[in-house]
Amino acid sequence: MLCPLLFLSAFIVLAGAQQQTVTQPSVVDISSCPITYYGQKYGKLYVNFTRRDIMMCFDKFYDPRNEGDCIMGSSPDKRRAYFNIVQANSVLERWVKIKTQTIQNSLRCSVQITMQIGSSSISLHLFNFGTEAAMFLEADGIGLVAFYTRVSDVLINKVEVNNIVYKSQNDTIDISGCRHSDTVYKPGTVVNSDPQICSSVTCSETATLQTSGCGPLEHCQGNGICVLASTCTVTGPTVIDVQGHMNSIQDHCAYSLFSTPSLPDFLVLGNFRDRRRKDVSFLDSVTLRVDGHDIHLEQGGRVQLDDSTLTLSSSSQLVHGVQLSKDQTGVTAELTNLKISVFFDGDAAQIVLKGPAGSSVEGLCGNSSSSPSDLRLPEYSSTSCEMQYSETADSTIDCNSVTERCNLLKEAPFSSCNTDIDPEPYITACTDTLCKYPAVDGLNCQFLKAYARACSQYNHTLDDWTSKTGCSSEAFCQDRTCSDHEFCGEKMVSGDTRCFCRAIFASKYQANNSLGDATVCKENSASLTLVGCLPEDKDINYSALQLNDPTCRGRVDKLTHMVTFSFNSSKRCGTVVTTNNSYIIYKNTIRSQNYSSDVITRKDQVQIDFSCVYSQPNINTATFRIRDWSVAQCITSGAWNYTLTIKAYTDAGRTQLVEWNSELQLNEKIWMVLKTDGLDGSMVSVVTDSCWATDKASPTSSPRHDLIINGCANPADPTVQVEENGLATSTYFSFNMFRFTGGSSDIFLHCQLHLCPKQGNNCIPTCNTPARVRRSASLAYEPEAPAFISVSWTY
């Protein structure tokens, strides 16, 4: 055996590093030779002296009220101690292993503390064996010397030398160990805990800690088996992931909330939209993407499969492998093959995964380190969803009161759940939202309700939480369906619910002080559509509005809640038609029932004028061959869109069309019909202003022969008779066939027409009947070759 103190001390001195002398409270840097003290690695010693002892602590200066990890022994003379860092060597390593019989690792270095206590020279050594450590005490004087090891306030071990003669004595202990949950385990210890919590601790022979048990997202079933039990809560703009981390959505897009590699064809996404303010987003709907199908969970408890609405009850309904059910608290969707549950009450969603250990979660619910933009889903989002808005702060909000309300989550009965579900993310989400957005539409209870539901996953019932907070466990706005541009909210006065316009959608109308879209004008009709939620925002009952004719009421679209007022040729609804130069104006008014023009009224009064203005159309030209029976042309100019048909007949009853093989003779009477289709005959009539003939297609060519002038028959041609003009949407006249002498055998006919509003106008031309004179000498009556007639008109 090696010689004890003299040999060891001499060896240490020869191999020693720079010495540090301590006479007062000091921090000794041992980072070049850190000591793993019962499983905790330290690089400093905090040294101070009491009246009787020297205290050498690893984590802080000694405090009798909170002792920490310390080595304590008798105080040296003159309160003086010397500290050295000593290099390792194989002789010293072998000597320590023989003394302890437990150390297995290689010696790396040691910390030597020397001091004088009475007649004894004291040498205390802390040996660094990596994950292991040893403490050695040597004294050469008469008397008892002891140093104790403590962890927190627990005495672990001691080294002791008791000399009765002047002789060197020593003692060595192993100060290795493992720590887990504030408990110290000796090397070589295996502890199997109760299977109810599924955990075990192993401290190896070289003081390496190994633990087994349920992971941070798992829980023990009570039979030693761990299962995944992760809960993700999405409420308002906040996502609280399965690890309790927060993420806040600032825009109005759709995001991937939850997916797992074990189900590649399954995805849960959340669609965030605005409500009363443009600068605050809310979870608006949840979509489950399952095997190529979309199951939409929406506000009001509505559930849609792709484009069809499902009818649900408390009894589960299997849809593409998903069990769907609905009650007064909300809608639940369960994927039984992996025990995935998705709950949505129209305001908050909770996604729970209960499955075998090792299952992982992706999306905003599982990976809070991902940027939200990486998880945005453009195919489910609007094109401008990324735009963020700023609005003036709401001065009516008392943030102190809001904070006090949100902090109820740390009080009873919620406090009983605080150890299982950290309330802080819910409190932060609550205050962040309610300090910016008014506490309406159930928002005052929304975060409390979400926390209570998360606690229910850990079997916390939170007795009477609803009565203590004035909340209800039932879903807000259940069974009320709003359109895409609306959300369900609470009326300020009565507390009843209705559909409100979303702030972004309403802003484009509010900028123009409008309640709806622009008037839609067509040739035979006009319509004006009000956005139903806009009049309601002004406390206007749109179901009580009418046009000039009280029987003409708005038509409500049950899906969009748009209210359309319209009139047409078959139902004029009191429309007033006027003219202004070359324009025709159709005007009607949306008004309240029993509208009053009195100076004062005590009922909401609405008067919205809307009109359509049509310009007179331009001239159009077509070629008409009599033997082709007829010619028709579709005419579009502005809002007008109708067909003009021209036909020629050989009899006054207009039954015998001129056909391709008809024999037409000079001076034979021909009856012409100019007929329109698509015009509102009750409002306008067609007036033929003039018709004239040329032997060329151009209306301005010569020679020219007038048939109708100023809406009346040309008095210079006694064969012309205007039978109907300005009475309806057709014009009739007749003349005897002729040809131009010395020119072409072709005859082109040109007519100019216009539309005349019937209301307030006499559209029939006033004609005198002077004595007829014979035709121009330039016209002759000869057998007629096949004629071509060009017809030109205006409208």
Cα-Cα-Cα-Cα torsion 236, 441, 452, 356, nearest 10 degrees, comes to -40
The domain limits of the chain are: 19-176, 226-416, 499-615, 631-764+783-794
The pLDDT, as a whole number, for residue 537 is 86
Of 397, 590, 429, 392, residue with least CA distance to 503? 392
The yes-or-no verdict on residue 47 having pLDDT over 80 is: yes
Query: Fold match between 499-615 and 631-764+783-794?
Result: yes
Could you tell me how many residues make up the chain? 795
Give whichever of 156-160, 743-747, 781-785 has the largest mean pLDDT. Answer: 156-160
Cα 544 from chain centroid (whole Å): 35
The yes-or-no verdict on residue 657 having pLDDT over 90 is: no
The pLDDT, as a whole number, for residue 314 is 93
Of 500, 497, 491, 510, residue with least CA distance to 561? 500
Buried b or exposed e, range 644-660, using 16+ CB within 10 angstroms = bebbbbbeeebeebbee
Within 10 angstroms of residue 52's Cβ, the number of other Cβ atoms is: 9
The pLDDT, as a whole number, for residue 221 is 62
The yes-or-no verdict on residue 382 having pLDDT over 70 is: yes
| Phi–psi pair at 68, nearest 5 degrees | 75, -160
Of 618, 667, 621, 675, residue with least CA distance to 789? 621
Residue-averaged pLDDT of the chain: 84
The pLDDT, as a whole number, for residue 263 is 81
CA distance 588 to 728: 23
Query: Percent of the chain at pLDDT above 70?
Result: 84
**Least confident range of 10-24, 540-554, 723-737:** 10-24
The upper half-sphere exposure of residue 61, i.e. CA atoms within 13 Å in the direction of its Cβ, equals: 7
Strand ranges (E), 53-95 = 53-57, 70-74, 81-87
| The amino acid at 706 | D
Per the structure block, which two tokens stand in for 278?
């443009």
Residue 618's contacts (CB-CB under 8 Å, 6 or more residues apart) are 637, 794
CA distance 710 to 690: 6
Is residue 219 very low, low, confident or very high in pLDDT (cuts 50, 70, 90)? low
Query: Percent of the chain at pLDDT above 90?
Result: 52
Is residue 482 very low, low, confident or very high in pLDDT (cuts 50, 70, 90)? very high
Q: Which CATH number fits domain 631-764+783-794: 3.20.20.70, 2.60.40.4100, 3.40.50.300, 3.90.230.10?
A: 2.60.40.4100
Are β-strands 788-793 and 640-649 bridged in parallel, bridged antiparallel, or unpaired? unpaired
End-to-end, the C-alpha distance of the chain in Å comes to: 129
Q: For 580-585, what is the mean pLDDT?
A: 76
CA distance 795 to 789: 19
Is residue 635 very low, low, confident or very high in pLDDT (cuts 50, 70, 90)? low
Question: What's the CA angle centered on 749, arms 746 and 752, to 5 degrees?
Answer: 165
CB of 105 closer than 8 Å to CB of 83: no
Question: What's the CA angle centered on 686, arms 684 and 687, to 5 degrees?
Answer: 125
Query: Tens digit of pLDDT for each residue in 23-33?
Result: 999 999 999 99
| The amino acid at 610 | F
Give whichever of 212-216, 283-287, 439-443 has the largest mean pLDDT. Answer: 283-287
CB of 26 closer than 8 Å to CB of 97: no
DSSP 787: P
Higher per-residue confidence, 312 vs 369: 312
The yes-or-no verdict on residue 686 having pLDDT over 60 is: yes
Is residue 630 very low, low, confident or very high in pLDDT (cuts 50, 70, 90)? low
Higher per-residue confidence, 179 vs 624: 179
Where would I find the H helices in 568-642?
none
Of 552, 625, 616, 604, residue with least CA distance to 757? 616
CA distance 713 to 369: 89
The yes-or-no verdict on residue 2 having pLDDT over 70 is: no
The pLDDT, as a whole number, for residue 166 is 67
The pLDDT, as a whole number, for residue 66 is 80
CB of 283 closer than 8 Å to CB of 299: no
Cα 694 from chain centroid (whole Å): 70
The pLDDT, as a whole number, for residue 81 is 94
Is residue 604 very low, low, confident or very high in pLDDT (cuts 50, 70, 90)? low
DSSP H/E element including 115: strand 109-117
CA distance 198 to 301: 39
The pLDDT, as a whole number, for residue 17 is 55
Query: Tens digit of pLDDT for each residue in 282-322?
Result: 999 999 999 889 999 999 999 999 889 999 999 999 999 99
The yes-or-no verdict on residue 792 having pLDDT over 70 is: no
Per the structure block, which two tokens stand in for 380?
């489910």
Bridge partners, residue 330, by sequence: 327
May I ask the CATH architecture of the domain 499-615? Sandwich (2.60)
Query: Tens digit of pLDDT for each residue in 83-109?
Result: 999 999 899 899 999 999 999 999 999
Neighbour order of strands in the sheet with 53-57: 26-29, 44-49, 53-57, 70-74, 143-151, 154-163
The yes-or-no verdict on residue 616 having pLDDT over 70 is: no
Bridge partners, residue 567, by sequence: 526
Higher per-residue confidence, 494 vs 413: 413
Q: For 242-255, what is the mean pLDDT?
A: 93
The pLDDT, as a whole number, for residue 335 is 86
